[in-house]
């Protein structure tokens, strides 16, 4: 991309950020607000960064928020900050890579609240920064970003409250996980086509793709496997999240009226958080915006889509 194109892209990005910032100042009208203080939103990995900001914005809109964190102390402190501001936030420990922790959490939610209306899968890790592309922690990346997200969805779907507005699931993802991005896509065209085709897409195919990559990481052959060459493990973990979002949208589409669950994913952009080493160009407030907007859409008929800056983008 030439300098002129880069400048134009930067200008377009800045213009869109300003547009979204303006939209965020427009309050929801009474007839748009399908939620109330009894509406329960779960946000994973919410002790800091984007997750904390999603929890804060939900609570500012009047929802009851369950803020979760792997570490109890920092999660309690994060919840306390919001509680001291008069916001309706409760904390519960949750480690999305631990199946027993997920079960304990789901059991507690059922006993305490009975049901949930919104799940935001925000918990995620990335061990690369700058031009680094180590796959040393690839298994941990997939355990958190993909399997953690998938297992949370499976655990909470039975607790999703039936309603005319439908329950909502939002998965925090990344443009790096796009199937057909100009950069960083899978080199294996046949595999890419299988993952792109809703007819052939299955949980087994996604899991096998992940397993194949991890096998190649273990034997050292991943560099010639046709995988993305930038942030490889992180990119593939988010590709798995994106494709699983599409798959679950299809699975959930058959639910009857009054029991609908809408699931989408979004890219928050390159956000100034600990994960990016504070090197991003987007604030956590901006990064959280699309997740909150998606979850609160007054007429939620969209599902299985990928968004950024309140706009649908291609997978």
**Catalytic residue ranges:** 234
Cβ distance 35 to 88 under 8 Å? no
Cβ distance 65 to 90 under 8 Å? yes
How many other CB atoms are there within 10 angstroms of residue 218's CB atom? 12
Placement of tokens 């993952």 in the chain: 195
Could you tell me the two tokens for 279?
């090197």
Strand partners, 266: 172, 307
How many other CB atoms are there within 10 angstroms of residue 255's CB atom? 15
Cβ distance 66 to 92 under 8 Å? yes
CA distance linking residue 91 with residue 83, whole number of Å: 10
State the DSSP code for 275. G
Burial readout 42-76 (b: 16 or more C-beta within 10 A, e: otherwise): bbbbbbbbbbbbbbbbbbebebbbbbbbbeeeebb
Helix (H, G, I), strand (E, B) or coil at 90: strand
For residue 107, give Cα distances in angstroms to 36, 104, 172. 23, 5, 24
DSSP annotation string for 189-248: HHHHHHHH-TTT--HHHHHHHHHHHHHHHHHT-GGGTT--SSSHHHHHHHHHHHHHHHHH
């Amino acid at each position: 991309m030439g300098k002129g194109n880069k400048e134009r892209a930067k200008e377009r990005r800045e213009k869109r950020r300003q547009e979204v910032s303006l939209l965020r100042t427009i309050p929801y009208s009474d007839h748009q607000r399908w939620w109330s203080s009894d509406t329960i939103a779960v946000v994973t990995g919410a002790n800091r960064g984007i997750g904390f900001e999603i929890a804060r914005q939900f609570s500012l809109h009047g929802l009851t928020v369950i803020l979760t964190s792997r570490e109890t102390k920092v999660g309690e402190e994060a919840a306390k900050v919001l509680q001291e501001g008069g916001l309706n936030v409760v904390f519960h420990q949750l480690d999305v890579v631990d199946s027993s922790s997920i079960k304990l959490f789901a059991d507690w939610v059922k006993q305490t609240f009975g049901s949930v209306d919104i799940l935001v899968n925000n918990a995620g890790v990335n061990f690369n920064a700058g031009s680094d592309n180590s796959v040393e922690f690839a298994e941990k990346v997939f355990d958190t970003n993909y399997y953690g997200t998938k297992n949370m969805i499976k655990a909470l779907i039975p607790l999703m409250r039936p309603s005319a507005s439908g329950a909502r699931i939002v998965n925090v993802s990344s443009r790096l996980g796009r199937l057909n991005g100009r950069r960083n896509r899978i080199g294996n065209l046949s595999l890419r086509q299988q993952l792109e085709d809703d007819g052939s897409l299955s949980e087994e195919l996604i899991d096998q793709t992940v397993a194949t990559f991890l096998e190649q990481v273990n034997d050292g052959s991943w560099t010639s496997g046709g995988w993305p060459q930038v942030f490889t493990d992180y990119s593939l973990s988010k590709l798995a999240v994106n494709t699983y979002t599409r798959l679950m949208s299809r699975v959930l589409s058959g639910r009857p009226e009054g029991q609908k669950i809408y699931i989408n994913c979004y890219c928050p952009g390159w956000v100034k958080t600990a994960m990016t080493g504070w090197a991003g160009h987007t604030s956590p407030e901006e990064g959280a915006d699309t997740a909150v907007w998606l979850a609160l859409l007054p007429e939620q008929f969209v599902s299985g889509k990928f968004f950024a800056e309140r706009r649908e983008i291609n997978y």
